[in-house]
Chains A and B, each alone.
Chain A
Amino acid sequence: CSEYQKVLKNEEIAPKFKMGEALYNEGKYAKANKLFAQIVPNYRGKPQAEKLMYLYSNTFYKTKDYYVAGYQFERFASSYPNSEKVEEAAFLSAKSHYMLSPVYSKDQKETVEAIEKLQAFINLYPESEYSVEANILVKELDYKLEKKAFEIAKQYNKIAFTSTELEAAIKSFDNFIFDFPGSSLREDALFYKLDSAYKLGINSVEYKKQNRLITAKEYYEAFKNKYPNSKYTEAINVMVLEMDEALKNYSTKS
């Protein structure tokens, strides 16, 4: 029977705290967590509780149990507002939520929550040493939401077959551009919007074709002016040639 097992089964609480702390310092967080969990109720209201709760919360964080870590750190921060660790705890609580944020292509409930928590932290401790990192994390999460909206719109473009489906793609990119005005994906969004409009125009029924082509050309002009040196320049030039060719029919007819 190892020393750890002995202490774990022992009724006394002081050795558990001591050993838990030692294990924590050695980086054996899972074991420390087990010991702490046993004594947390006993220390409630006692002066040592502050330290214990901080260590306890951190063991969850280190063992990647971010759901519980986020909750425990938040409790710590509200229970000990005068603690010297309060800032760190508040940050780690928010960061735990960040850790829970899934890949962009899944439900982003946790992402939105993490952004709120991180932003609240930044507002509360604007001068904190952690606020730089917090800002970086927020940015990353914001990008995730952008990426999600963009990829959904891009898929609409990809699977569009009928004219209403192409219009849906254009509408989605419009929504995207409106919702994320400063997005780094703006150029791509504008390109795919043009691409959708181009496909809509070229494959259009006759009586709508001219108007649709003219709209697509407007998008083209706007794109070219905004991004003269785009990676898409070559692709859009091919499109515009084809559209001009198609438009010729109308100028000669009228």
Chain B
Amino acid sequence: QELPYSDGKKYTLGSVTVSGNTSFSEQTIVTYSGLSKGKEMTIPGEDISTAIKKLWNSKLFNDIEIYITKIEGDVAHLEIRLSDLPQLNELKINGIKKGKKEAIIKDAGLKKGTKVTENLITNTKNFLNKKYRKEGFYNTKILINTIDVKDSIETARVNMVVNIDKGEKVKVKDIVFNGNDILSDKKLRKAMKNTKKINRLRILKRSKFVDSAYQEDLSKIIDKYKENGYRDARILSDSLIVNDDNKTVSLHINVNEGEQYTFGDITFIGNTVYSNEQLRRYLRINKGDTYNGVLLQERIADNSKPDAADITNLYQNSGYLFSSINPVEVNADGNVIDMEIRITEGKPAYFNKVSVVGNDKTNDHVIYRMLRTRPGQLYSKENVVRSVRELGQLGFFDAQEISPNFNNPNPDEGTIDMEYSVKETGSSQIELQGGYGGGGFIGTLGLSFNNFSIKDIFKKDAYKPIPMGDGQKLALRLQASRFYQTYSFSFSEPWLGGKKPVQFSTSLSHTKQFLYNPITRNADKSKRFNITGISVGLAKRLTVPDDYFTLSQAVSFQHYDLQNYNTGLFTFGNGDSNNLSYTIGLSRNNTRIDPIYPTGGSNFSATAKFSVPYSLFNDVNYKALKEERDALEVIVSDSTRPIDERTEASDRVGEIDQERYKWLEFYKINFKADWYAEIVKDLVLKPSAEFGFLGAYNNDRGVIPFERFFVGGDGLGSYSLDGRESIALRGYPNQSLSDQDGGTIYNKFSLELRYPITLKASAKIYALGFLEGGASYNSFRDYNPFSIKRSAGLGIRIFMPAFGLLGIDFGHGFDALPGETVKNGWETHFIIGQQF
């Protein structure tokens, strides 16, 4: 029924029927087409084509046709004939690894149920071709087949098979330069960062050919010339020759070097805030220097480093947000280029409003107190950068997603609004563990809330699921097995009183342990050792020498209560001991930006812990006691003497030790330093060193058996027993490098190389390699920082907000354990919630 448009006649629409292979209801299709009953329309005319277009645009149908079935007077009856587009049923991808399939399905949009059109097939083909081309596979062949599915379900469906033959990667066999006299082939090849010719010795960069990278590298060659004063250098031509083997290409590049230029007079125009002299000091380019456009640009605005010492930052850090700096060549006679650096300073900008958005959990006051940009203050880029860094360090927000936004810039008034956009991230951790170890079941329940709000603890509404948002830390931990139980609680508030960043922290703990009874093979509850401890501390951020420094102080008390607890550790089985001490520490931490994966800065701390020097005023003659004890020791260890005498002597030694350790008298010094340096993008080198020393005021009273250092292993469990410190040293078993009683001096050095696998907020994963060495010593006489136990190894760390840090390390110990003669070899360490 081909009728010319102009002959269109007006009809009223009667019925509309639908035919063809479709699973959609007739009503839906008619409604969608817009052909409602009773509608006035011209046939042939616009309405029909609009209806077809509409149906077509739904991307659900194929072969859409509209017919007139009957005409009764001026009433027309229509029929829509169409069929559903087939849906994708099963997708098979051949030729690539399983893990890569998911990504392709997602990127190409090949989900089950997708409508399969020719367009989809072509797009998928193109997408895959392009994708592999980018990776250097220029010989990729893609074949896509569709097969109709015939079964009882009426919906038209097809199975799709995608065959991928990636073929061989195309590699660069040779790069040939022509016309280069000044710069050698080697130098030019080096300038090409991502296009390299085949070289078996180079392991970091591959030699595949990627066109986009090649184009970029061509401009890098020009940059290289520009750096050397050849600012007219250009690439005359370049050609790509596919070699006979079809796997490699050769690149021929013809360059024209041009002549070398030098800098002439450099003048500053428009500068009122900084003098010519000051600006020259930042520019550091003098008349007569080889012309280097790249360097000039870098000294004016270095885009690769946000905190570089360039002229732009000089202005940006002192409020001149609206300043602009343009170098202009004013004269180029005789290959000498005179430059004018035109500066438009503009008005200094002041912050008008400063706001934070995106804090769904954290309260304003926790965030605003961290900001170094406040309303009315002069704009400074440095302060903005630092605010972002410090918000990231709080750990409440995704450090990668904090962005400072400038709103409503007003160059006339000199004002700018600042908005920090943050994204909350999970900051609570739950640890629930059950395991079999130490001869029985061990259960652990740990809760730590890093953004707690203690003031909301009695508010019912705040439990979503726990009161959050005041930046306080609260941790509870219970651990129990047949042989011991530990309860601990800690709380800290980073801004005590809300006025100044004085951190208050307190912790309480109680540990019970029982001895093993070899007869019942169970814990012997009558032989126990209890430790109860409390500590209260204050830490304050200092402003001098700089504000990365923190001074901390703490008072702690521990009570050790022994009952029938006779082990090698103590000479007295019944008795008690008290440890009242004061700790003072100074630390500096400017690591940035992500606390889990710092890429720069350093972290050092020095602490000293003291007890009261009781022996100065308690009128006990420790010298006499020591002599008596030494004499008794001889008796105890002399096996020729009668047993009664030896027991008596041994009891007396216990009594003397009880006297010596009733109140622990000691001092302890610790020093620790870590550095982080980004070598190339994201690859971080972390050297670190640490040292500890435990001493006694009164040598006759002796160094206490508590608070000692135990070197070796994973460094976990440092709170057990007697205030001991476990020092991690991978490649050796736990605490294996110290005496049974622990050392009084230790040192450790390590070098770690880290590389991130992913740094997403949901999971941060990085791999590491390490070299380390350390040892503990029993006195200064033995101390030798070079006689250390060395090790090296590899490991991986995974940080997930809900679980904390988990990791595994494989360390190889190069030295023998004490008392052994062969090197220790490989050890595996599991790391939970602690960083090396």
Contact = CB atoms under 8 A, between A and B. Distances in A.
B352 A175 contact: yes
B574 interface: no
Contacts of B357: 107, 109
A236 interface: no
B375 A175 contact: yes
A39 to B, nearest CB: 17
A168 B359 contact: no
B360 A172 contact: no
Contacts of A175: 352-353, 375
A165 to B, nearest CB: 7
A29 interface: no
Among B27, B359, B368, B500: residue with most chain A CB under 10 A? B368
Given A164-B377, A168-B374, A106 B369 contact: no
A107 B358 contact: yes
B243 interface: no
A105 B376 contact: no
Interface in B359-403: 359-365, 368-369, 374-377
Given A107-B357, A175-B353, A152 B376 contact: no
Interface size class of B (residues with CB under 8 A): 20 to 34
Given A159-B369, A159-B498, A159-B500, A106 B353 contact: no
B223 to A, nearest CB: 42
Interface in A91-119: 102-103, 105-107, 109
Contact of A106 (B362, B374, B498): B362
A103 B359 CA distance: 11
Given A159-B499, A175-B353, A168 B377 contact: yes
A137 B44 CA distance: 57
B384 to A, nearest CB: 15
B15 to A, nearest CB: 19
B469 interface: yes
A220 interface: no
B811 to A, nearest CB: 46
A148 interface: yes
A56 interface: no
Interface in A135-171: 148, 151-152, 155-156, 158-159, 161, 164-165, 167-168, 170-171
Given A156-B368, A159-B499, A105 B375 contact: no
B437 to A, nearest CB: 43
Nearest to B374: A168
A106 B586 CA distance: 34
Contacts of B363: 103, 105-106
Chain B contact residues, majority secondary structure: loop
A106 B368 contact: no
B361 A158 contact: no
B361 A106 contact: yes
Contacts of A109: 357
Main secondary structure of the interface of A (DSSP, over half): helix
Interface in A20-37: none
Contact of A152 (B27, B362, B364, B499): B364
Contact of B359 (A107, A159, A165, A172): A107
B357 to A, nearest CB: 5
A175 B350 CA distance: 13
Nearest to A103: B363
Interface in B470-514: 498-500
B350 to A, nearest CB: 8
Nearest to A161: B500
Contacts of A148: 364
B139 to A, nearest CB: 50
B377 A167 contact: yes
A62 B8 CA distance: 57
Contact of B368 (A45, A103, A152, A164): A152
B364 A170 contact: no
A109 B358 CA distance: 8
Given A159-B500, A175-B353, A168 B362 contact: no
Contact of B376 (A103, A158, A167): A167
A105 B360 contact: no
Given A106-B360, A106-B361, A172-B376, A155 B369 contact: yes
A177 to B, nearest CB: 13
B459 to A, nearest CB: 10
A105 B364 contact: yes
Given A105-B365, A155-B369, A156-B368, A168 B375 contact: yes
Interface in A39-97: 45
Nearest to A45: B27
Contacts of B364: 105-106, 148, 151-152, 155
Nearest to A154: B365
A105 B469 contact: yes
A168 to B, nearest CB: 3
Nearest to B359: A107
Contacts of A155: 364-365, 368-369, 498
Contacts of A107: 356-360
Contacts of B499: 158-159
A93 B500 CA distance: 43
A102 to B, nearest CB: 7
Nearest to B462: A103
Nearest to B498: A158
A164 B500 CA distance: 16
Nearest to A164: B377
A156 B360 contact: no
Contacts of A156: 368, 374-375
Nearest to A160: B374
Contacts of B368: 152, 155-156
A107 B360 CA distance: 5
Nearest to A102: B360
Contacts of A106: 359-364, 469
Contacts of A158: 498-499
Interface in B134-168: none
B600 to A, nearest CB: 27
Given A151-B364, A158-B499, A171 B375 contact: yes
A156 B377 CA distance: 12
Nearest to A108: B357
Contacts of B362: 106
Which of A103, A105, A156, A175 neighbours the largest number of chain B CB atoms within 10 Å of its CB? A105
Q: Which of A167, A170, A171, A175 is most buried by chain B, counting CB atoms within 10 A of its CB?
A: A171
A111 to B, nearest CB: 12
Contacts of A172: 374-376
A139 B629 CA distance: 82
B376 A171 contact: yes
Given A107-B360, A171-B374, A171-B376, 6 more contacts: A161-B500, A165-B374, A167-B376, A168-B374, A171-B375, A172-B374
5 contacts: A45-B27, A152-B368, A155-B365, A158-B499, A175-B352
Interface of B: 27, 352-353, 356-365, 368-369, 374-377, 469, 498-500
9 interchain residue pairs of minimum CB distance: A171-B376, A168-B374, A105-B363, A171-B375, A105-B364, A172-B375, A107-B359, A168-B376, A155-B365
